[in-house]
Structure 1
Amino acid sequence: MAVTKPMWNHTGEYSCWVQTFESNDRKTAKVIVIVPESDFHLQYRTDHEGIVHIRCNVYNISPEPRLSVILGNDRIVDGTLKSTQASNGLYITSRHIKIPQSDIFPESNINCILSIPKTNYTRRKEVVYFEQPIPSDPSEHEIEDFSSPVFSLGPFHHNGCDTATSSRRITWFIPFLILTVNILISIFNNNNYHKVVSKESSSSSLS
């Protein structure tokens, strides 16, 4: 079995049923069709109150991803998570973190980890934090509304480097190859068993 043009909505449980004169078998497996992201960004900036805004955005991905932001080596920060599914079935997801500038060490690593639950699909963006001067004029870097998952905070610094590249193609995890092979082996062994039994019966009759 092969799906030549898998789509995001092909995700689900699939069953394979094989029947012969001697026996039948049925196996079910979970199939997750992954549409890789079109864009993945990690940025930060400092506002007039000395608050560092970190944002991680991912666009046009399916299934719905997880975004985790890590400061330094192991400090995970939650922040605000926004996720919206567009009419084409793909997700736009963002995580917004607000941290006082005094709580971040200069030249600390900031990582954003993108993952899809129940798969081994992961991507990572990383930037190095450099302390920025605090703007004196609040309107210079006005903070926009964060009610939408697609937001802008004005001039950000460091778009991040991607430690794993992904092409714009549909990637899917489908265990049907192993499933089908196992079923065929089972049927083959079963048929051989019946042939051996049949030969032994014929030999007994001739004797």
Structure 2
Amino acid sequence: MDHRTGTFGYVGMLLFSLFAVLPVARSLEIIDIKGPSVVVNGSTSQIVLDCDYDITDYDKSGLVVKWHFNRQTFPIYQWIPTKEPQDLGILKGRLNLKYEVSEDQFSKHRALAIVNPTTDLTGEYTCSISSFESEAFKRKSLIVYAPAEDLSMTYSKPSEDSVVVTCRAGGIFPAPNIAIFRSSSSSKEFIESAKVESQLHPEYGYYNISIEIEVSDYDLDSETMFECVLTIPGTEYRVQEKILYFPGHLTTPATEEVEDVDEEDIDELLEEIEKSENAQNSDEEGDDGKRSPHTAESVSSGERVLSSLSFLSILAGLHLLFLH
């Protein structure tokens, strides 16, 4: 055996034995950020984002826990185990600083306890921990969304052979998605050519959004269902509205002209109605003052028409009287 080979082999075994008996120092590790990813605005009084980490005795010296919002350099929360936790930036005055996630003195204040979360706290949260030995970080997204306050769908006729369908929603956050579908007995189609307008109102913290399409009646079936679907990305929120459209002319009820009626004529008509009702009540009551069983009477179509016209004339006359 070569002398040099034997020497190197001996040294290698010695080094291996040395590292085998020395403890291996682990670095800081964030296991997970626990807590909700989606919250409805105004639905809860407090949410907790817990930065669950694993540390060694080496890391306890100089341990600092920080939280950042949307990757900004300035922290929104800081805790050093030997000091009280601090709320900063957008979370100033909005944290429960007394909240303790555990009894361990090196982890009890690691979590964010956000009081009454609102839509402006939607964003990305970063937990970072550091010590004299190492550092680590982990991120989590949170969406605090506001459902639409209203959702409406209407249509109008700009011409005899076309229709404009409009869907509007307001008071929603964050920026939603909106789409229109049309369906008939045979198919359902997503309309890509629809015009979408979205507007943020910073002073109120919500969006208004609308979608509009114009379609020719010739491209539609005799009966078409339009459907508006509103969603918020990153959430399960989904609402919809439907409207049924029949291609053709947009008609309005016809109005009939009514001749002027004098006040004396109105009084006479009212007296006749009152006498007629009294006579009918007398006929329906027996000798003992009890009502007799009601007997159905056949009325010809001509009599029905005359009765209806008389009643309409009375109503029209009363309406004109009150206008004067």
> Could you tell me which residue of structure 2 aligns to residue 65 of structure 1?
176
- Asked whether the equivalents of residues 46 and 132 of structure 1 are also in contact (C-alpha less than 8 Å), the reply is no
> Could you tell me which residue of structure 2 aligns to residue 8 of structure 1?
119
> Could you tell me which residue of structure 2 aligns to residue 113 of structure 1?
229
CA distance in 1, matches of 2:179, 2:164: 15
- Asked whether the equivalents of residues 125 and 141 of structure 2 are also in contact (C-alpha less than 8 Å), the reply is yes
Aligned pair partner of 1:80 in 195, 215, 232 = 195
Mapped pair 1:91 → 2:202: no
Deviations 1:132-157 (A, max 9, x none): 4157xxxxxxxxxxxxxxxxxxxxxx
Q: Whose RCO is larger (CA < 8 A, sep 6+)? A: 1
Runs of at least 4 residues of structure 1 off by over 6 A? Answer: none
- Asked whether the equivalents of residues 158 and 164 of structure 2 are also in contact (C-alpha less than 8 Å), the reply is yes
CA distance in 1, matches of 2:194, 2:218: 17
What is the CA distance between 1:49 and its match in structure 2?
A: 4.3
Percent of counterpart pairs with the same letter? 27
SS of 1:43 mapped into structure 2: strand
What is the CA distance between 1:118 and its match in structure 2?
A: 2.6
What is the CA distance between 1:88 and its match in structure 2?
A: 1.1
CA distance in 1, matches of 2:114, 2:206: 20
Mapped pair 1:35 → 2:146: yes
Deviations 1:88-108 (A, max 9, x none): 121110011111111121322
CA distance in 1, matches of 2:118, 2:151: 21
1:1-207 map, 5 Å: 1=48, 2-16=113-127, 26-72=137-183, 73-86=188-201, 87-134=203-250
CA distance in 2, matches of 1:45, 1:105: 17
What is the CA distance between 1:85 and its match in structure 2?
A: 0.9
- Asked whether the equivalents of residues 160 and 249 of structure 2 are also in contact (C-alpha less than 8 Å), the reply is no
Root mean square deviation of aligned Cα: 2.6
CA distance in 1, matches of 2:227, 2:240: 7
> Could you tell me which residue of structure 1 aligns to residue 260 of structure 2?
none
SS of 1:41 mapped into structure 2: strand
What is the CA distance between 1:24 and its match in structure 2?
A: 8.2
SS of 2:228 mapped into structure 1: strand
Amino acid at match of 2:169: V
SS of 2:218 mapped into structure 1: helix
* Matched length: 136
Structure 1 unaligned blocks of 5 or more = 136-207
> Normalization by structure 2: what TM-score?
0.38
What is the CA distance between 1:32 and its match in structure 2?
A: 1.1
CA distance in 2, matches of 1:83, 1:126: 21
Deviations 1:72-98 (A, max 9, x none): 112324321111111212111001111
CA distance in 2, matches of 1:71, 1:123: 16
Larger radius of gyration: 2
What is the CA distance between 1:64 and its match in structure 2?
A: 1.0
